[in-house]
Structure 1
Amino acid sequence: MARSLENVRPSRTHWLITMYAGGGEFCDGFILSIIGVALPLITVSFGMDSTQAGLLGAAALIGMVFGGLIFGYVTDKIGRQKVYLADLAAFVVLSVLQFFATDPWQLIVLRFAMGIAIGADFAIAGTIASEFAPQKSRGPLMVVVVTMWSLGAATAYGVGWAMLSLGPEGWRWMLASSAVPAALILLLRIGTPESPRWLLKKGRTDEAKAVLTQMLGPDADLADVAEDPGVTVRYLDVFRGPYLRRTIFVALFWACQLLPLYAINTYEPAILGSFGLSHGSGTYVGSMVIQIFFVLGSLSGMLMVNRGRRPLLLWSFGISAIPLLVLSLLSSPPAMLVIVLFAVYAVASMSSQCMQVLYPSELFPTGVRATANGVATAFSRVGAMIGTYGAPILLAYSTSAAMFVGAGIAILGCITSFFLAPETNGMTLNEASASVHHPRTGRSPAESPAMLEETQ
């Protein structure tokens, strides 16, 4: 009996590909979060002004915009595996170089370059993992990928807190420490096969067959992997016609998820301190506790993702707005209540983070799947930058105001999802991406000439 990529149970190879993709997300979360612990030490060490500190905090996010826009497209052109390895190699080199920085601008440039590599990894990791994942397991497997980001962020806070004992120059070890997980994941990624979907799109049928045969056995079937070769979707098509609606949706909901999340992640110790958790290392311990709930929240998506992509996103935004709204209304809440409310926000908001990988992968065909992931990554980071820049301004004015704005953004995400979010649960990648008409030909990618003839 023929076995196809969409209808099999996850094998060891599926899980390894998922974990290796998630390993990159772990590094992304670690690199982007460790700066939150290191930044106060760097500011003192270099005597940085507020402008330099703000640029350093946001440099990686700015780099991600360029990395997503450029390397998503490059990935669709030259293949998944090449970029998959190159971005991790960049992590290793740039992490080590941060240790030797002698002035703020060197660090800003290095963090910007790391952001480019992270943007590339965001575009490729979810793409390659989703293109190998079976239909029924795609949601849960993508939950694993995204959860690794949360685990990396939590680990960064733990490592950063432990390295505070190294003194004023401890920030060098904090920033350089990301080289360790990056080097390990790079070694593990070596040998990862190229996506059979991409190989077929490029006309390399024999190579695609060989990859599937190695994974599924000699009876592997290419039928549900191949797309209509007569329809080619190009870079600019993600900005026109029905694909434009999908691009706007993915960019908006992702930005609404990240704007409060990045603000809280970057300034978590300061936020907790403003609520009274400022005794000794209490803010860092509180931050680590909340990060644990971010991990648990991300994992909770595994319970709901196959019950519906759309309702998961709606409920996630709706519930995550509540604790932020409550925090905005309380003048002097007890420390434990603050932790509980942030924990509720962490679980609710992170439960739908897997949609950041699933929707761009399911809503766009193979020819622009990484491009769409990259474009969504780029525009969503604009939201993250707004959060990173705006949070200290709002916090200086009023912590309650900052929490109120965060609640409003979550509500905006819920409204956006209500009007724009499609339901792709239960569809293969080809079915989900083919459910729109092509902006130039007027037919969906699934409607090949042969299929049209059969229906006449």
Structure 2
Amino acid sequence: MNNQVSIEDVPLNGFHQLLSIRSGGGWVLDGYVLSIIGVAMVQLSSALDLSSFWQGMVAASALIGIFFGGFLGGLLTGSLGRQKLYFFGPAIFVICSLAQYWADSGAALFFFRFLIGVGVGFEYPVAGSLLVEFMPKKYRGPRLAMLTILWFAGAAMAYMVGNAILDSGRADAWRLVLASPAIIGAVLLLVRIGTPESPRWLLSKGRTAEAERVIKKVYGPSFSLKNLPEQPAEKKVSLLSLLHSGYGKRMLFVSVFWSCSVIPVFAVYAFAPAVLQALNLKGDWASFGSVIITMLFVVGCILATRLINVIGRRSMLIHSFLWSGLALLGLGIHSDGSQVLVLVLFGAYAVFIGGAQVLQLVYPNELFPAEIRSAAVGLGASLSRVGAAIGTWLVPISLQSIGVGNTMFAAAGVTLVGLLVSLALAPETRALSLQEAASLR
């Protein structure tokens, strides 16, 4: 009977749940390690006497690292497999987070956070590909969307834990803040032990016997390759050739919408206290505001995850960019407004951008075939971080030169670009199998 059941249609089992924890833990750590710099920035800038240039460079360094890590990780994941590189990111996080404790200059922090970014860049194609290639069709979208929720949960944890450490009053508190991700990284390394290789990747390399063994181990002895939708075997296809054959339009869409959804978010997280203070949220209002807004990002992602199979991918993306862009426009207009109004508008942005955030991992993992999936996801992550790194580097300069109101207008403009590209290019992949979604129909 199981010969008639595709693994795309099986119910969730214990392995799926464990794999969700293993991959999801990477996104908790990513959110934590990328956001923790915003918590420590004020103290470390003072302690190391950093200029606005080096503040921007330190804040953008991890994003620059993601550019290289995403591209390299995507290529290596496609050639070496998902399993071998599943431990690279957490190991880098542990080593470099600890190394930051002894950093004595902006250049040293830039170097260590650049390497952290490389590790984050690896996580996108590695953990994402493993999860999507094992997950049944019905649960694929929500589980990929869940990763974004976990990213923001990690970011919220960074602000809560980081502020608690800073409140201890220790002279080296900012160093402890930057070293704290090492604990989460060590736990993640242990949790990921025993993860199998993707049978889809094994089959794409012609390693059918190994793929068969993995399928039986994960789904049960009555399952076999007959239950796996047909995949290309020993087919040597490069990312470049597939882009020329019709996937270039999809790569353009993924890169642009991904960039437009992360540029304002990363800029906010790197300088949240400074941005909120510029918007008249000072003292405890700025600290509490950072946590509240982060929690509202989580709420927005949770709502989007619940709706992703209801309203579809395309509609969700369009509405996400539209309403979040209007919220940023409101912040630009009312940059000198009351603290309550600023929090309401910032909170609205956080909730509405959730749709675009969760689709960052859903769309690129669904729109490309197995043989280039990891490379395409890695390339999308890399290209999106170019704009994010530039935007983050410009934030302190922008706040000083053109003011917070015009900075918010610029962020709204970026969101508008995302809306226009989504209207023109966003496809609908709801209810399609992974093979159907990745085909050029």
User: Could you tell me the TM-score, scaled by structure 1's length?
Assistant: 0.92
Q: 1:169 aligned to 2:183?
A: no
Match of residue 440 from structure 1: none
Q: Deviations over 1:86-144 (max 9, x none)?
A: 22111111111111223332221111111111101122121111111111110111121
Report the Cα offset of residue 370 of structure 1. 0.7
Q: 1:284 aligned to 2:290?
A: no
Among 412, 415, 419, which residue is 2:424 paired with? Answer: 419
Amino acid aligned to 2:430: N
Residues 23-42 of structure 1: pairs in structure 2 closer than 5 A: 23-42=25-44
Match of residue 227 from structure 1: 231
Among 70, 78, 81, which residue is 2:80 paired with? Answer: 78
Among 194, 197, 203, which residue is 1:194 paired with? Answer: 197
Residues 390-401 of structure 1: pairs in structure 2 closer than 5 A: 390-396=394-400, 397-401=402-406
Say if 2:399 and 2:407, in contact at 8 Å, map to a contact too: yes
Aligned residues: 435
Q: Deviations over 1:269-295 (max 9, x none)?
A: 11111122113x321111001100111
Among 252, 256, 279, which residue is 1:275 paired with? Answer: 279
Amino acid aligned to 1:87: G
Q: 1:418 to 1:231 in 2, by over 3 A?
A: farther
Report the Cα offset of residue 265 of structure 1. 1.3
Match of residue 147 from structure 1: 149
Q: Deviations over 1:423-443 (max 9, x none)?
A: 11111111111225xxxxxxx
CA–CA distance in 1 between the matches of 2:81 and 2:172? 41
Segment of structure 1 superposing worse, 180-189 or 200-209: 200-209
CA–CA distance in 2 between the matches of 1:210 and 1:358? 28
Segment of structure 1 superposing worse, 126-135 or 233-242: 233-242
Report the Cα offset of residue 315 of structure 1. 0.8
Q: Deviations over 1:299-350 (max 9, x none)?
A: 1112211131111111111111111111111253221221111111111102
Say if 1:200 and 1:226, in contact at 8 Å, map to a contact too: no
The SS at the match of 1:332 is coil
Report the Cα offset of residue 161 of structure 1. 0.9
User: Could you tell me the TM-score, scaled by structure 2's length?
Assistant: 0.95
Amino acid aligned to 2:202: L
Say if 1:197 and 1:225, in contact at 8 Å, map to a contact too: no
Match of residue 447 from structure 1: none
Say if 1:233 and 1:365, in contact at 8 Å, map to a contact too: no
Q: Deviations over 1:9-64 (max 9, x none)?
A: 11121121112111111111111100011122111111122222221111111111
Report the Cα offset of residue 392 of structure 1. 2.1
The SS at the match of 1:4 is coil
Q: Deviations over 1:385-416 (max 9, x none)?
A: 12202222332222111111211211210110
Report the Cα offset of residue 378 of structure 1. 0.4
Q: CA RMSD in A?
A: 1.5
Amino acid aligned to 2:122: A
Match of residue 434 from structure 1: 439
CA–CA distance in 2 between the matches of 1:389 and 1:107? 15
Q: 1:258 aligned to 2:262?
A: yes
Match of residue 56 from structure 2: 54
Amino acid aligned to 1:368: I
Report the Cα offset of residue 376 of structure 1. 0.3
Match of residue 451 from structure 1: none
Uncovered stretches (5+) of structure 2, i.e. residues with no partner: none
CA–CA distance in 2 between the matches of 1:56 and 1:378? 18
CA–CA distance in 2 between the matches of 1:171 and 1:250? 36
Report the Cα offset of residue 156 of structure 1. 0.6
Among 313, 322, 334, which residue is 2:326 paired with? Answer: 322
Match of residue 135 from structure 1: 137
Uncovered stretches (5+) of structure 1, i.e. residues with no partner: 437-456
CA–CA distance in 2 between the matches of 1:51 and 1:352? 30
Residues 280-359 of structure 1: pairs in structure 2 closer than 5 A: 281-307=284-310, 308-359=312-363
Among 390, 409, 413, which residue is 1:404 paired with? Answer: 409
Say if 1:127 and 1:357, in contact at 8 Å, map to a contact too: no
Report the Cα offset of residue 164 of structure 1. 1.3
Among 362, 378, 396, which residue is 2:366 paired with? Answer: 362
Residues 40-119 of structure 1: pairs in structure 2 closer than 5 A: 40-119=42-121
Say if 2:204 and 2:235, in contact at 8 Å, map to a contact too: no
CA–CA distance in 1 between the matches of 2:304 and 2:128? 16
Say if 2:36 and 2:177, in contact at 8 Å, map to a contact too: yes
Amino acid aligned to 1:30: Y
CA–CA distance in 2 between the matches of 1:419 and 1:231? 32
CA–CA distance in 1 between the matches of 2:344 and 2:109? 36
CA–CA distance in 2 between the matches of 1:16 and 1:92? 22
Q: 1:238 to 1:119 in 2, by over 3 A?
A: farther
Q: 1:248 aligned to 2:257?
A: no
CA–CA distance in 1 between the matches of 2:213 and 2:335? 63
Match of residue 388 from structure 1: 392
CA–CA distance in 1 between the matches of 2:105 and 2:405? 35
CA–CA distance in 2 between the matches of 1:137 and 1:222? 21
Q: 1:384 to 1:219 in 2, by over 3 A?
A: same
Report the Cα offset of residue 234 of structure 1. 0.9
Say if 1:73 and 1:235, in contact at 8 Å, map to a contact too: no
Q: Deviations over 1:153-183 (max 9, x none)?
A: 1111111111112334211101110001111
| Percent identity of equivalent pairs | 40
